Amino acid sequence: MFDKILIANRGEIACRVIRTARKLGIRTVAVYSDADTNALHVTMADEAVRIGAAPSKESYLLSDNVLEAAKKTGAQAVHPGYGFLSENAEFSAACKANDIVFIGPPVGAIEAMGSKSAAKTIMEKAGVPLVPGYHGDDQSPVILKQHADDMGYPVLLKATAGGGGKGMRQVWSSDEFDEALEAAKRESLSSFGDNRMLVEKYLTQPRHVEIQVFCDQAGNGVYLFERDCSIQRRHQKVIEEAPAPGMKDSVRAAMGDAALLAAKAINYEGAGTVEFLLDKDDTFYFMEMNTRLQVEHPVTEMITGQDLVEWQLRVAAGQDLPLSQDQLQINGHAFEARIYAEDPDNDFLPVTGTLSYLQPPEESAHVRVDTGVLQGDEVSIYYDPMIAKLIVWDENRDRALARLAQALSEYRISGMTTNVEFLYNLATTEPFRKADLDTGFIDKHSKLIFHKSQTEINRSLPLAALYLTLKRKQDAAALACQTADPYSPWDNTNGWRSCGANIHDYSLLINDSEITVALEESATGSFTLSARDASELGMRISGTLEGDELHADIDGHRVRANIVAHDGIYSLFTQDAALQFGLIEPDYGDLDDGGAAGFTAPMTGTIVALPVEAGSSVKKDQAIVIMEAMKMEHTIRAPADGTVVEFYFQPGDLVDGGAELVNFEAADSDS
């Protein structure tokens, strides 16, 4: 076994590898960019080496810098994690040339599966069924479009060297093809340094099921069953589970055998994942093979009781597989939910900011949290906005799903918008409970997932009002201690006024709606709630505030909540839900007469293309500015017919979120 390994990655996967290495007595070396100087994976490792500037192209993707760090520290092997250099054949070859073990498959296997088109050719020869499509070498736009037209729409454009939804576009009509192709190629080139594409027929209601395979250097191979990864947005997985619900033993065996056939066809070693599309009639089609550990590998670990990173290390060190196929079995059910800094209500746009408050659910035999961040850390523009992976396990799917819902309700994050509420709503829908899954699940059930419950708001209103009142009293009491006159009326905190009841008034902004709340304070210090637009009026409320923890009594119902303030926004967490609210200050008018018409950047990022020239006339929905941020491309389109008067930034410029990008004049002054 190795004495020391270097982890050529960051974030939660780097921390994950460090934990297993430490368990095995292996010392670890972390690498880091300028943006990750104080990152968790850096502090966890035994050693750490700076490899470059914040952008991944100037640090984590520089193979020479990573290799130099390995040689400098005497690391015997490199674990690439996933993403970055994990499926880079040149990096694997360079490791071998420097007598450093690459903890992954041989160069030939990476090359064979690194091109989706080449992989499909191998699978076709092996007799694995393929989705109809074009995987040829001729990459001219005319040829690609002709094959798409011949197949019939919708089609799917995919980067041959891609993964994780990068360089991928759905195309629903011939008119959309050219723009989608340009965007997919541009994103693929940025992410993988390769803009070759393939075109496939897009199946509208498939399930995405993948098989975890493992092979050793002696030629032994096993599959560790399947994962259902059908719940996706932007072709990126959101919630994964193992085993796939409703999977017949015969189908599982057939898919497992096909996956092993694929692995052995390229003399595979280590951990790999063979991905399939599974149709309703149990027919399945090969999609691709990922020659690395997958983000969702923990659900496989939970149902098999195996540490897949330990398996990777043992196989890379020349040891045989720990178990044979007949020794592996499925135990229970597991889910993984990816916690992201993103805004589900704004097309899942990634967000940046500081994790001002971070309290994950308590870990146990049923709950696991894989993360690479701590409270106070920043989610930057440079990397994927994943905060953590929440993994749960129980004896069957229903019980595991209950665990997932409970853990999500206990996951508390403040300082930025996250997808936690979205995940909770998704996991508690009836179609998800019934395992009515396909890759279009989120769009199909959007009304169930993106609901705004008035009941939840009404339940939270008394807590929000009580918190603001008790906090106001605490702050006033602290100031009163500093005054010379303890009886000054300016230090009174009971809402007293010269005529009428003692009232505390608040205007709250909840879910884009303004709600006026009033608490009438009694002589005993309890309150009566009245609220416009709320159904529950006249409630008797009392409670105490200790730090951020509120203990409330609402008409005899005792409730505990945590409330955290950040930049004028309050995050309220209860056992049942999470809610954000703001306190609306009086409006003294807008002293700014406004600026020129234009568009603002939705988030901090880099301008990658300007599809039109300044002075051009454009049609409604035509692309005007294309930005890249947090490994994703965002297109800003014309809201109406008009003229692009001026661009304020050029390709390559880094712009702040909210910055004005373009001066646009609508053709119709009423637009």
Concatenated DSSP letters for 511-567?
A: TTEEEEEEEEEPTTS-EEEEETT-S--S-EEEEEEETTEEEEEETTEEEEEEEEEET
Q: Are 189 and 139 contacting, i.e. CB atoms less than 8 angstroms apart?
A: no
Architecture of domain 454-583: 2-Layer Sandwich (3.30)
The residues that bridge with 40 in the sheet, in sequence order, are none
**Cα end-to-end distance, the chain, whole Å:** 68
Question: pLDDT tens digits, residue range 510-527?
Answer: 866 788 888 888 888 888
Q: What is the DSSP letter of 583?
A: E
Q: How far apart (Å, rounded) are the C-alpha atoms in residues 504 and 227?
A: 53
Does 562 score more than 50 pLDDT? yes
pLDDT at 521: 87
Q: How far apart (Å, rounded) are the C-alpha atoms in residues 309 and 103?
A: 10
Q: Are 336 and 367 contacting, i.e. CB atoms less than 8 angstroms apart?
A: no
Pick from 585, 635, 589, 643: nearest CA to 614: 643
Question: pLDDT tens digits, residue range 408-459?
Answer: 988 999 888 899 989 999 999 999 999 999 999 999 999 999 876 666 777 8
Residue 613 CA neighbour count, 13 Å, CB half: 1
Pick from 297, 284, 282, 289: nearest CA to 224: 297
Fold of 4-103: Rossmann fold (3.40.50)
Q: Are 388 and 380 contacting, i.e. CB atoms less than 8 angstroms apart?
A: no
Q: In Å, what is the CA distance from 402 to each residue of 41, 109, 360, 487?
A: 31, 40, 17, 54
Confidence grade of residue 165 (pLDDT, cut at 50, 70, 90): confident
Query: Alpha-carbon Rg of the chain, whole angstroms?
Result: 28
pLDDT at 119: 82
Instruction: Identify the helix (H) or strand (E) that includes residue 67.
Output: helix 63-73
pLDDT at 295: 96
Pick from 274, 310, 280: nearest CA to 294: 274
pLDDT at 595: 38
Fold of 132-201: Dna Ligase; domain 1 (3.30.1490)
Question: pLDDT tens digits, residue range 450-502?
Answer: 876 666 777 888 999 999 999 988 887 777 777 666 666 665 665 555 555 67
Tell me, yes or no, if 397 is annotated catalytic. no
Secondary structure of 484-518 in the HEC alphabet? CCCCCHHHCCCCCCCCCCCEEEEEEEECCEEEEEE
Query: Six-digit token pair at 254?
Result: 């057939």
Other CB atoms within 10 A of residue 655 CB = 20
Q: How far apart (Å, rounded) are the C-alpha atoms in residues 91 and 80?
A: 10
Q: What is the mean pLDDT of residues 593-598?
A: 42
Share of the chain above pLDDT 70, in %: 92
Q: What is the mean pLDDT of residues 642-665?
A: 88
Q: What is the DSSP letter of 30?
A: E
Largest CA distance in the chain: 90
Question: pLDDT tens digits, residue range 322-346?
Answer: 999 999 999 999 999 999 999 898 8
Name which residue leads in pLDDT, 642 or 539.
642
Q: Which of 227, 292, 368, 459 is catalytic?
A: 292
pLDDT at 101: 98
- 127 sits in the region (left: phi over 0; alpha: psi -120 to 50; else beta) called left
Does 95 score more than 80 pLDDT? yes
Q: How far apart (Å, rounded) are the C-alpha atoms in residues 63 and 115?
A: 20
Does 553 score more than 60 pLDDT? yes
pLDDT at 591: 42
Q: Are 333 and 243 contacting, i.e. CB atoms less than 8 angstroms apart?
A: yes
| Same CATH fold assignment for domains 4-103 and 132-201 | no
Does 587 score more than 60 pLDDT? no
pTM of the model: 0.78
Angle formed at CA 359 by CA 478 and CA 301, multiple of 5 degrees: 170
pLDDT at 132: 81
pLDDT at 322: 97
Average pLDDT, the chain: 89
Fold of 599-666: OB fold (Dihydrolipoamide Acetyltransferase, E2P) (2.40.50)
Share of the chain above pLDDT 90, in %: 60
Buried b (16+ CB within 10 A) or exposed e, 22-52: eeeebbbbbbbbebbeebbbbebbebbbebb
Residue 314 CA neighbour count, 13 Å, CB half: 18
Query: Six-digit token pair at 150?
Result: 């011949």
Question: pLDDT tens digits, residue range 113-162?
Answer: 887 777 888 888 877 888 888 888 899 999 999 999 998 899 999 998 87
Fold of 207-449: D-amino Acid Aminotransferase; Chain A, domain 1 (3.30.470)
Boundaries of every domain in the chain: 4-103, 132-201, 207-449, 454-583, 599-666
Q: What is the DSSP letter of 326?
A: G
